[in-house]
Amino acid sequence: MSYESAGYDFAAMREAMVESQLRTTNVDDQRLIRAMGSIAREDFVPAERRALAYAETLVPLGEGRRMNLPLSTARLLDELALKPDDAVLVIGAATGYPAALCSRLAGSVVALESDPALAGRARELLGDRGNVEIVEGEMEAGWVAGAPYDAILIDGAVDHLPEELADQLAEGGRLAAAIDSDGVIRLVYGRKHGGGFGLTDFAEAQSARLPGFEHPRAFVF
């Protein structure tokens, strides 16, 4: 029995997400909207939770990890404004959904994940996308081997941003993430310029927490 025949019309759910969550909340990158309207997010969700793929909720992925909200991922990517020739680092690849979106928007994507099981699932789902590389390692360390990056997407909430991540940006490179500040999660955007790097917050949003970012060294903003 297909999910559609069981009552889950994922195409309609995807369209509703675009209309009710994206178009009403200042997400105006048309390439991003088209990508989110065509990529089957339900494929990246555990089978028993596929009905939640387009809901405004954090979907459990196992081992304490959760899939970020579609709107939170969209707001971060909209702020990054990826270009077709950008080299992108995705931190918090999970099962591969943010990397799938970036693959439609950028030239090359390195997707970093610390959980081997999630990384393996991402490889299965993204195997036919030639511009995406799934790598495993500590997410807070970034991925030096692929640097410099034009953009870094941290698809989740962290306590701080290690300086090593800004070091991996090219001049003019951009970074977007969610920072948990005393229980309030703020979406932030930064750009590297003249060797310096600064952050500004642009929205508050619920986001899935990412492990490994509990160390005290951080940017001050």
- 0.95 cut: is pTM over it? no
What is the pLDDT at residue 148? Answer: 98
Q: What is the pLDDT of residue 30?
A: 95
CA atoms of 115 and 93, how far apart (whole Å) = 9
Dihedral (CA of 62, 58, 68, 188) sign: negative
pLDDT classification of 25: cutoffs 50, 70, 90: confident
Q: pLDDT tens, 88-104?
A: 999 999 999 999 999 99
Range 154-171 average pLDDT: 95
Fold adopted by 10-204: Rossmann fold (3.40.50)
On the question of pLDDT at 13 being above 60, the answer is yes
What pLDDT shows up at residue 220?
A: 53
Residue 114 in this model has a pLDDT that exceeds 80: yes
Whether 95 and 118 have beta carbons less than 8 Å apart is answered as yes
SS (H, E, C) 24-49: CCCCCCHHHHHHHHHCCHHHHCCHHH
Q: Above 80 in pLDDT, residue 120?
A: yes
Rounded to an integer, the average pLDDT of 173-184 is: 93
**pLDDT value for 216:** 58
Q: What pLDDT does 4 receive?
A: 44
pLDDT 10s digits, 121-162: 999 999 888 899 999 999 999 999 999 999 999 999 999 999
| Angle 128-134-135 from CA coordinates, rounded to 5° | 160
Q: What is the pLDDT of residue 100?
A: 98
How many helices and strands in the chain, by DSSP H and E? 6, 9
Enclosing H/E stretch for 199: strand 196-204
The helix (run of H) or strand (run of E) holding residue 104 is: helix 97-105
